[in-house]
Amino acid sequence: MLLGATAASIVCAILLGWLLTRSIAAPLHEMQTLTLRIAAGDLTASVPAAHGRSELAALLNNVGNMQESLRSLVSKSRQAAMSV
C-alpha cells in the first residue's frame, strides 16, 4: 500500500513538473520568435494579448509597447525623409 502511494506521488510530481515547465517554456519560445522577427525589421508581427499579472505577461506587454514605438519611429522617419 505504501509503495503504491509513493509511486502515485512520484507520477503526480513528474506530471506537475512537466505541466509547469510547458506553461513557462511555451510562452518564452513564442516571445523569442516574436522578438527575433521584430529585430529583423518585421514590425507587422502580431503580439498576442497578455493575460494575468505574471512576469511573462508584463514582458509580453512591454514587447508590444516596444513594437508600437518602433512603428511610430519608422513612420516619423519616413515622413521626415519625404519632406526633405
In the chain, where the domains are located: 2-82
pLDDT tens digits in sequence order for the chain, 84 residues long: 788 889 889 999 999 999 988 888 888 888 899 999 999 999 998 888 878 888 888 998 999 999 999 999 999 999 999 987
pTM of the complete model beyond 0.85: no
The pLDDT assigned to 39 comes to 92
The pLDDT assigned to 52 comes to 82
At 28-39, the pLDDT tens digits run: 888 899 999 999
The pLDDT assigned to 46 comes to 86
Residues 6+ apart with CB under 8 A from 74: 43
Cell readout for 18 is 512537466
